Each structure stands twice: as structure tokens, then as C-alpha cells.
């Protein structure tokens, strides 16, 4: 069975190291805030100007003045700080963020990412993704591996306008966890429970390095 969006976020949360600063992008990455492992001290940063972001609020307790970069209502934790976007991007560009978790439309086997524009469709702007991929120390992508037509989004080369080049190190999809190798290629590290390596091969257009005995994820 392929993972749900919540399970993708839950698996990525296991990658967060203690005492780190982490930026959560729009989409699946925002769900990671709900799955921070116990005993892990992490400060979540939102690019619209917040340090110390907590999990999503309980229904009925939302504060419309507290939102993340995706305009979703959020909670703050003790010691959190609110500031303007200039300060936020100063932190990002100065490489104060240890890990960035982003969504993507496509990722290439060389670690290129396309996640801001589909030609012919209206977009409000590129947002902060280009700053994040240019400045982050480590980037993990949370994405669906195939589109609604069943076509792979892990490609030899991206077909959409690029956000960044050779910057992605790890990807978590509904089918598996992948490392992007320095020499190019998606190395399968773990597969979703019940998903076979053959299923993953069929869903990957780019170069895939996969052991038939790749372990299943655990939660």
C-alpha cells in the first residue's frame, strides 16, 4: 500500500536531528509539524516570519493571525518569535536553517528540482523556494512519485522550469525513500509497506539504483 500524505510527513519527521532549525515548505511538508518525535528539540521556521511553529491547532481554537507560508492556521510554542519576511530571508540566506523540507512537481536524477511553475497555469509568484534551495544546508523533498495520469515525477531531466540545480539530497514519496547520489541516480533506501521493488521501478523514469531486498519503512 502506498503512503498517505500524513505518512510521508511522519517518515520525514524521523530525519529531523535534535537541536536543529527546520523550514517547512507548502503542502505535505507543513504536516511534518504534527509528527516531531518525542525527545527531539527542533525549532520550526516559516518563511513568512515565524520561529517556533507548533502543530496545527485543534478545530475551534484557530487564531487567524497565526498562519504559515501556505496561509494555514498554526500554533506557536513557548519562546516563539514573529518578525517580518526580510528578517526571515536573512536567516535563510545566511544559512541559519539546518534542514529545508519542500514539495516538488519534479526531481531529476541529478538532484534538480522544479516546484514553482507549470507553463500556461497562473501562479502568484515563485515564493521563497529559490532562496531556500540556494541556501539550505540540507534539503528533503516530500512529493507524490507519480501524477494523476500515472506518469513518474522522478525523471532523468526535469521538464518544468527549474527552481534549483543539483540541490536535492533525499526524497520521500508514497512509494519509497530515496537518496540522490552525487554521480546521479535515485538510490532506493526504503520502500513503503507492501510496495514491491518492481512497483517502484515502474514508477521511476530516472536512473534507479535498487536492491531487491530493500527494507520496508517502519513507523
The DSSP result for 137-175, as a single string, is S-EEEE--SB-TTS-BSEESS--SPPSBSS---EEE-SS
d(CA 77, CA 163): 31
Q: Which of 179, 202, 177 is nearest to 190 (CA)?
A: 177
Say if CB 116 and CB 130 are below 8 A apart. Answer: yes
Catalytic residue among 6, 15, 47, 157: 47
Lay out the sheet containing 113-114: strands in order across: 113-114, 106-108, 154-155
Beta-bridge partners for 102? 141
- 179 in catalytic set: no
Query: 69: Cβ–Cβ under 8 A, 6 or more apart, which residues?
Result: 24, 25, 26, 46, 47, 48, 127, 128
Say if CB 192 and CB 219 are below 8 A apart. Answer: no
Q: Which of 107, 108, 126 is nearest to 117 (CA)?
A: 126
Residue 46, SS3?
strand
**Catalytic residue positions, numbered:** 47
Amino acid at each position: 500500500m502506498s503512503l498517505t500524505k500524513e505518512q510521508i510527513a511522519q517518515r520525514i519527521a524521523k530525519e529531523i536531528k535534535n537541536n536543529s532549525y527546520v523550514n517547512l515548505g507548502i503542502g505535505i511538508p507543513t504536516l511534518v509539524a504534527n509528527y516531531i518525535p518525542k525527545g527531539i528539540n527542533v525549532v520550526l521556521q516559516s518563511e513568512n516570519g515565524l520561529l517556533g511553529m507548533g502543530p496545527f491547532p485543534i478545530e475551534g481554537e484557530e487564531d487567524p493571525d497565526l498562519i504559515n507560508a501556505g496561509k494555514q492556521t498554526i500554533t506557536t510554542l513557548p519562546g516563539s518569535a514573529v518578525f517580518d519576511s526580510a528578517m526571515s530571508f536573512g536567516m535563510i540566506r545566511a544559512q541559519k536553517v539546518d534542514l529545508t523540507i519542500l514539495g516538488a512537481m519534479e526531481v531529476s536524477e541529478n538532484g534538480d528540482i522544479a516546484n514553482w511553475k507549470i507553463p500556461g497555469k497562473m501562479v502568484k509568484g515563485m515564493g521563497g523556494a529559490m532562496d531556500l534551495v540556494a541556501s539550505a544546508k540540507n534539503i528533503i523533498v516530500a512529493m507524490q512519485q507519480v501524477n494523476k495520469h500515472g506518469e513518474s515525477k522522478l525523471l532523468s531531466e526535469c521538464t518544468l522550469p527549474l527552481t534549483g540545480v543539483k540541490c536535492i539530497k533525499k526524497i520521500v514519496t508514497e512509494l519509497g525513500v530515496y537518496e540522490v547520489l552525487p554521480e546521479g541516480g535515485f538510490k532506493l533506501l526504503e520502500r513503503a509497506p507492501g510496495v514491491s521493488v518492481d512497483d517502484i521501478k515502474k514508477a521511476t523514469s530516472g536512473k534507479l539504483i535498487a536492491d531487491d531486498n530493500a527494507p520496508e519503512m517502519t513507523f
